[in-house]
């Protein structure tokens, strides 16, 4: 039996997220179905992050135990040969037994993309949030460093399970503007559910002039009188990479 690590990319538009669900197709469920057929036994796939419905990935990492002896290239071809065009395994490697895609991860990086133009290309619309507001990008960029560091992000996520820590550390947050695209890239030691989408929504409110830097600071201190920004649409979000 060997411990296998794979790197997966997918267009999440038509999936109910990464995590296996009772209803609807998911990336985890799809991989487990294919691997279980290949291995002749039930295979459980562990992902580095549970991307929500509609969220994309360029560098999702997963791990699983495989009994069948297969060279890495053969396994790569077998997986991609059974996957639809919206999901592709980019890399297959055999790793030490202690490796776990989720628990061994040190950091993850996400990208949220705003489209600021008037008309979205049909080749882009599945991967960007079409923002209809005029944004002051320099104001957003000036506020971005406030999020860097260790904070309690309880006001910038969807409701978490009782008892779970809502403290995370953002190590990098950058805004890059090119033509009509505004990209927000965030690297952190971990993310809460909807955290990136709420953070991007909060930056949007700063860009609209509806939130000040002082209010963002209060929000990060847990001041519930300050309204956080909305959770922006999932389609603008992509998991870029997982660091180990």
Q: Which of 185, 156, 184, 187 is nearest to 169 (CA)?
A: 187
pTM (2 d.p.)? 0.95
Q: What integer best gives the mean pLDDT of the chain?
A: 96
Res 158: pLDDT: 84
Band the pLDDT of 160: cuts 50, 70, 90.
Answer: low
Same domain, 111 and 90: no
Residue 162 has pLDDT above 80, yes or no: no
What's the number of domains the chain is made of?
2
Asked if 52 is an active-site residue, the reply is yes
Band the pLDDT of 63: cuts 50, 70, 90.
Answer: very high
Domain with 86, as residue range(s), is 2-95
The active-site residue, picked from 11, 39, 52, 223, is 52
Distance CA 11, CA 86 (A): 5
From 95, 130, 153, give the residue that closes a domain. Answer: 95
Would you say how long the chain is, in residues? 244
- The CATH number assigned to the domain holding 81 equals 3.30.70.580
What average pLDDT does range 90-106 have in this prediction?
97
- The CATH number assigned to the domain holding 217 equals 3.30.70.660
From 25, 60, 95, give the residue that closes a domain. Answer: 95
- In terms of C-beta distances under 8 Å and separation of at least 24 residues, what long-range contacts does 215-218 make, across chains too? 216/143, 216/146, 216/147, 217/146
- Give the range among 124-128, 129-133, 163-167, 240-244 with minimum mean pLDDT: 163-167
Same domain, 123 and 41: no
């Amino acid at each position: 039996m060997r411990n296998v690590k794979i790197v997966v990319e997918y267009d999440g538009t038509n999936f109910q997220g990464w995590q296996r669900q009772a209803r609807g197709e998911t990336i985890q469920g799809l991989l487990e179905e294919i691997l279980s057929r290949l291995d002749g036994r039930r295979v459980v796939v562990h992902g580095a992050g549970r991307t929500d419905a509609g969220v994309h990935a360029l560098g999702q990492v997963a791990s699983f135990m495989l009994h069948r002896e297969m060279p890495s290239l053969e396994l790569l071809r077998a997986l991609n040969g059974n996957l639809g065009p919206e999901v592709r395994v980019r890399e297959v490697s055999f790793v030490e037994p202690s490796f776990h895609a989720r628990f061994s991860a040190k950091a993850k990086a996400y990208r949220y993309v705003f489209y600021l133009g008037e008309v979205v290309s049909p080749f882009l619309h599945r991967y960007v949030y079409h923002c209809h507001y005029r944004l002051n990008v320099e104001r957003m960029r000036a506020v971005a460093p406030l999020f860097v560091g260790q904070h309690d992000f309880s006001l910038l996520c969807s409701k978490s399970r009782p008892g779970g820590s809502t403290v995370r550390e953002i190590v990098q947050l950058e805004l890059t503007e090119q033509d009509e695209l505004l990209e927000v890239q965030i690297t952190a030691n971990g993310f809460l559910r909807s955290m990136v989408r709420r953070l991007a929504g909060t930056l949007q409110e700063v860009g609209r002039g509806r939130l000040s830097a002082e209010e963002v600071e209060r929000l990060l201190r847990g001041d519930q009188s300050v309204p956080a920004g909305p959770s922006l649409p999932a389609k603008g979000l992509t998991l870029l990479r997982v660091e180990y």
